[in-house]
Structure 1
Amino acid sequence: MGRERRHFLLLLLLLHLHSLVFFLTSGGADGSGSFHGYNCSSDRSLYPCQSYAFYLAGASPSLLDLASVGDLFGVSRLMIARATNLSSAAAALFPGQQLLIPLSCSCISNRSYSPVDYQILAGDTFYAVSTIRFGNLTNFHAVEDVNPSLIPINLTIGVMATFPLFCQCPKNRSQTLITYPVQPSDSYASVASRFGSDLQTLIDLNGREGSVFKPYSTILVPISHIPPPSIPVSSSDLPPPPPLSGHEHGERAVVGLAIALGVLGLLWVLLLLQINRLTQCWCWVRKIDEEQGINSEGQKWGKKMIGEASKEQKMTMDVSEWLDKYKLFQIDELREATADFDRSCLIRGSVYRGKINGEMYAVKQMKWNAIDELKILQKVNHTNLVKLEGFCIDEEPRICYLVYEYVPNGSLYSWLHDPSRSGNLDWCHRLRIAVDLANGLQYIHEHTWPRVVHKDIKSSNVLLDARLRAKIANFCLARTGHNAVTTHIIGTQGYVAPEYVAEGLVTTKMDVFAYGVVLLELVTGREAVSVEEGRALWAEAEERLYADGAVKAGKLVGWIDGALAEQSSAVESAVAVMNIARACLQRDPGRRPGMVDVVYALAKAEEASDNYSGEGMSVVGAGNAVIAR
């Protein structure tokens, strides 16, 4: 194993050079005859669907654990472990270990793919990220197509790019399709054998060998169950490496010396780059001073960022480390964009919409010290969280403005409870929103450290984008840490967990509780607190719906939203969701599930909903409780 690790960097370099040579000589890996992946099926009701991608761990040394791989693809590590038949989601991976990555396959602009957000790092190119980090599950032509505003040869560090991972939804709902990147030694026969697929079906689905079956392109592999039999359970299945001969000892010494010299050279380059970066940053701060005409009597931004930390200067000091990550907006351009913060541009509360350089933003007006929210926002990055684009500090009236991406379809609350909109969300969209919200919470609970607790999950803080995909907004109450206690109780009636009200206990389980309330809203269409009686929806459900244990279909009569009652595919699937909500709403926080388990349970409910045939429906585990871990 040690020898494999020492050859790892050299092997990656050789693989990259080999794929580059192949691309230049063959015209590129075209993914089934097209640089852009797969066209959508004529039957658009197939989308979205659950699909999978075949992935080899260790594309870089940082991708040798499920948490890192899950972060890259934006999915739960538990879902990857279960799809791959791994015994533990915490186990370390070995280079080249086979994984199955669950994807949500969508039809966008007549292209079938799963959009994954990726933050550009130093040295990244569309080609390198597509072929190495994402293992040829897409190609740089497709990435350029879906990111028309980005310049491929001049990518800015920190900018978000969408990588379209090729996938397809099967016409036969009893099958699942795996996107498989073809390896140089592969043939249709070997791939069919690997996954236990029918050879002729594989050929019929993809086309004859030689026309589309090329190394580093992708093919679709139909399977009947997950995981397929050939995915190894653990590295213990692999044979041990042979003993080293004397010749190999010498070879190892040469390789070790080469790597050591390379590392020293890399450290020297990184040191020079860091010195250059600090120099540029200081010059940039001085440039801002000059452009804003700030005098030299101790009022300059540079002095505020590196000088003594008085209370008035603390905000500008603390944000200095983020000047290279977020855009620094000027107050004049925000005033122009929002018509001087006119009510006609008001979205809700203190959030305004405004267009800057042709792009729409949401501008949040805050008190002077927004440092807590900024500290949390700079730690998180996920497609189901509203993205912070930049900020502005107006020193004279002591106001801070946070500039977010604009999410055009407003809040989930308005879609569920506004009479002009209620009934417009079908069950498919509601279930997808529940999954999106769960993925966002699972990310901040599992993939941040210290863990982030949102503290204000509610339907009005869930925003819907142009495709009605959900994003979590408003982190002003969010806190980091676990099992903290506070005496300052703040929250929204109907969503606040009992232990928080009684003891001030702040844990991720309070977000789980509030999420359960949102699930009730999605299924019932009712508000979290009854307007007539002033009673919490969760308390009413606890007394009338959950008193006898797990929910059955007959008990939903009178509870399910009238807009869904006529959708035959919704009722049984809603039973599964209501039982997930029941688990989330346990009074004892220790009995509530974590969001990893919620995401998995919802994925099963969504899969069952996709498989609905029209004559009835069976949700696997619909009556089973989701247990805490």
Structure 2
Amino acid sequence: MSSKHLFLIFILVICQQILIKAQQPYIKKLSTNCGIRNASTSVLGYSCNGANKTCQAYLTFRSEPPYNTVASISSLLNANITLLSQLNLVSENATFGTGEMVLVPTKCSCLGEFYQANASYIIQARNTPFLIANNTFQGLSTCHAIQVERHNLTVDIYPGQRLIVPLRCACPTEKQVASGIKYLLSYLITWGQTVSGISAKFGVDTGLTLEANQLSEQDYNIYPFTTLLVPLSSQPLKSQTLSPPTPPATSPPPSPPPPSISASDHKWVYMLVGVLGGVSFTIFIGFVAFWFCYLKRKQISPPMISSASQSFEAIEKPGDKKLDIDEDSDFMESLNSIAQSLKVYKFEELKSATQDFSPSCLIEGSVYRGTIKGDLAAIKKMHGDVSKEITLLNTIHHHNIIRLSGVCYHDGHWYLVYEYAENGPLSDWIGYNGLSVNKSLTWMQRVQIVLDVANGLDYLHSYTTPAYVYKNMKSDNILLDSDFRAKITNFDLARSAEGQNGQYALTRHIVGTRGYMSPEYLENGLISTKLDVYGFGVLMLELVTGKHVSDLYEKVNKDLSEVLNEFLDEENVQGNEKLTDFTDPSLQGNYPSELAISVVRLIYGCLDKDPSTRPDMNEVSQCLSRILTASQTRQASITISVQDDFVK
């Protein structure tokens, strides 16, 4: 054997040893970028670099309907139902609470270059690899790994097909085994978590977890919908998923022995006990008498109203007699004085308006159509604290924000009475692709709708004190009146902007509709008015393309701005072919192409990943106003031209 061959063998042996001892690289943000194909990032799975080709591993999963029982989670993740129930200290027919962390045992095997545990999934309507990986499996797989596993002959996936979903797991390396590591746990990260916090939860040294994921103390950022490998010396315990381990309690020092009491002192002790006992008994009798009178008085008192905050919250305490406050005239008068411009309705009025809340009057959810004094109204039944929405809508007034005209409280429920939007939610007018003439919007109507929404958001951002971030942008929350003018509704998520436009606030409570939420909000909980700008860009994209956001994500999986790239290329905008393919088929080319391109450029700016470079809503509103004016001028010139031709 030549020296050259010996050298190559030596290099291969050295590389193999390095690979065996190497740890797994953390995936970072790459799980949401479905265009990445670089295997070194672990985006396709954890490398087969462990001491064993097959091993026992563990996953975490957060219970969410319909996957909230032992049976359903076991089936979804292809786990042994008996082992899963025993590991979580529940029976095999148990149901977990929503959001509860579930430990899942799995057999991890080296298949090709990567470790994985295979699950089987039947594709549902509107599923994409991205949604399957991040919604259904919560990040236990990636869109990249799912795409590689597909063996069918089609580019797209279709409902009813069975799909193999590779779950992210790994086996300990020789180095980890030598240090006492027996298992690796694939932990699903959620918002606000840290490497040190997750490590403490399972009693693991933070340095070991950092090393297992090739992270350093200077580069330890972790993100939701990704997995962090936690090295364990023993199998995980259910108690570790509930709270971090508490330090052992230290025993208190022994108490000094009580001083001895001589026989001569006993009589003074007895006298003292007798006096204290008599006083205590007297106080007790007085307290009982006072409490009885207090409760009797409370029974005839109306619920407490906070006039300072205009919260209108009925406060009931134990022992209170339930009071039908909508029939108490004193309460009605006080609430009217607080509500100012709001009318306080009696429950009987709303029953009459909705034919006793008949199903025939039900619009959607808990919203009913009613007729009050000949005028249509939308009546929404709510429970819980609605003071935030009432206060906000009672202090802001804009023709593109839904008007709250009255309230009613009855039997523990609030009823909010809004102006009625005859043409319903904007979402009902998206996605028909020209198949329904009655559900088709013209170019002018679309531009007017987005301008209305922009004006409403600009009012919230710039002309209210304090400024508000809406946080709930989606086509379901935009209502259209009889003239197809837009009204923004559902302000339960709105919050103060806490500063000038663009200034960030932080939250760990991420709420909203997937697809409309901006990257900085999803990944880091950053809140500013630019969050609304991003959601507005998605809304405009839906209106221009005629596709719901879920359908748009089927094409790109992550970055919606990718949809726009090819149409902003100078070579493509010269002709109408690309633009026609891009826009809603129901428009049938009946729009000015140069103005459509302007709208596309505006959408692109709103969807910028960097919130600081997105335009503010005032700029968006001015731009759309110019586009609408130009569209109206063009339409007027076409009308005049047609009239002239008719006269000739």
Structure 1 length normalisation: TM-score? 0.46
Structure 2 length normalisation: TM-score? 0.45
Question: Which is greater in Rg?
Answer: 2
